[in-house]
Structure 1
Amino acid sequence: MKKNSLLQKLEISKKEFLEISKSIIQPNIISDQKKYKILLKKYVTLEKIVFLYEKYKKRLASLKEVDFILENDSDVEMKELATTEKYKILENLSSIEKESYNLLFSSKKESETEDDRRAVIVELRSGTGGDEACIFVEDILRMYTMYFKKSGWKYKIIHAQKGGIKGYKEIILDINGEKGVYGNLKFESGVHRVQRIPKTESQGRVHTSAITVAVLPKVKDIEVNINLSDIKKDTFRSSGSGGQHVNKTESAVRLTHIPSKITVECQEERSQHKNFEKAISVLRSRIYQNEKEKRLRKISIKRKSLVSTGDRSIKIRTYNYPTNRVTDHRIHKSIYNLAGFMNGNIQEMINLLKFFENK
């Protein structure tokens, strides 16, 4: 989180706190118990935020003093003391930032939209980096499935295309849950970049690879009406799971929507009919998402949204293994616990993205 952006939010909260402080003692507010309780609850939360705001400003002032000593003082012992103090201040600032964010997010959280409550289709595809990109698709798949488990969501693999040596060139998932699945996962759409030493690298050099993630809200047939005459259907032998049966029959399905030129494949089921149904579901979601992205692009011209621009070609995140760091470029936030992140602990980053989208 950028310090300037956080300070602006804290300043706004302080102004709001001062306004509520005046309002809450007015007789007409006190007599309206419903309104009074709402304002009192807000007052208590804002009071905590203002306390952190004052504390934050003092620590920033201390940091400025320490930096001045480091830049201008020639005394070695003073510089050593200043360096030690600076680390303490930075650690304290980080703690205040996290606490401030949690309070701000809880006080400013907006209600879910209809789309936010939807189930989703998630598509992972390897990009630049060859075999290493395919391996990273598998790593991200594992990260998401662990996150789904923590969230109490269920998922099914609709389509999978194996990589050359290991991993996947492409994998499509169907995710369902009681809580807002799309509301959390929509921020994952975009290019995910990995920087690490591949297992196949004998010289120990760090390579950069990339994959793309697309998160599509699931829609009903009444929301997106697909004319069957606009669909070209091809069948082929599956290369996926299912034993010998799938290799002997043309159970896999490829659908092409002629007007939009969108193509969908599904081969995970033994039945051609079931694969067709799943492919239609993915196709419907892609058509819906295409229309939604067109609207978002128009909106983003007027409103410089940090996250939901609808452009899946944007690099959104870097996973840097040598520094144990994952960075989201949209909000300039780094988490120095890559192992934990890859084990499905991604909610902190998602919450930050939600916060910035709603600010």
Structure 2
Amino acid sequence: MDIDRPVIRPRRLRTGPAMRRLVAQTSLEPRHLVLPMFVADGLDEPRPIGSMPGVVQHTLDSLRTAAREAVDAGVGGLMLFGVPKPEDKDAVGSGADDDAGILNRGLAALRADLGDDTVLMADTCLDEFTDHGHCGVLDDHGVIDNDATVDRYVSMSLAQARAGAHLLGPSGMMDGQVGAMRQALDLDGFTDTGILAYTAKYSSAFYGPFREAVGSSLHGDRKTYQQDPANRSEALRELRLDLAEGADIVMVKPAMSYVDIVRDVANEVDVPVAAYQISGEYAMITAAAERGWIDRDAAILESLTGIRRAGADIVLTYWATEVAQRLG
């Protein structure tokens, strides 16, 4: 039988590793990766996080060691979260803007060690520091008071800038948070301190392990301030506001379940776009790999490449150091 054979054969560009490398449209490099890290007060040694195998709450000493390892591997930056002692939490998160608080001590230690060898980022949010576990101040009815919370973020941002953070990450999804922080930083002389805006942070079921990681005291949920997973165009409204208020980098969180939002945001902006591969995403891949259901190393690289392909210039991932070492 005389059958016409195809003239156009896309498989020619997939014939071997060298060819595939030559024509690859998305790259994943150590500089694209940011390592989230937890530093806890009152620990004598690092404390493993049960729902995130391989991730720990650090002491100040182990934080410094792990940060140096990450920087030596070539990661682009470090995002630091503080975990205070339970007895130090209160209704307004006083430890968040205390220069002697664990997060600000951690930032100062890393800036002293690393200087400008990496981009040091700070989580600018109150949830780890409040006894109710919400990202802000509650009013008399137990509802988040947006403007009172923004005032706390302003104070927190100044403390983090003093401690040496290069970028501040307001993650509470309060209206006006970026603009208020930008104005306060500029008035206090921190014009070079940037803002990585959590522009589209969704109320996700995949945050569960993170709450163990920071010792969360959360009562209720965060649906009145984090975005509804059902909404898409709302993210672009938040994006326009953050850019108008002075955001230097914008971020989508979570990443893997929201790659459509990552692409929407990337299509709209001329600033860097970040995406956060969150704790639940890390835990799912880890758990499946532990059971032998997936190839762990391949799944990690595929997930990160997919986030990059969607449009993220920067990916926050708990695998940052490991992947950076693997990529060389």
Q: What range is the shorter-chain TM-score in? A: under 0.3
Please say which structure displays the higher CA radius of gyration. 1
TM-score (norm 2): 0.26
Q: Give the structure with the higher percent helix.
A: 1
TM-score (norm 1): 0.24
Q: Give the structure with the higher percent strand.
A: 1
Higher relative contact order structure (alpha carbons within 8 Å, sequence separation ≥ 6): 2
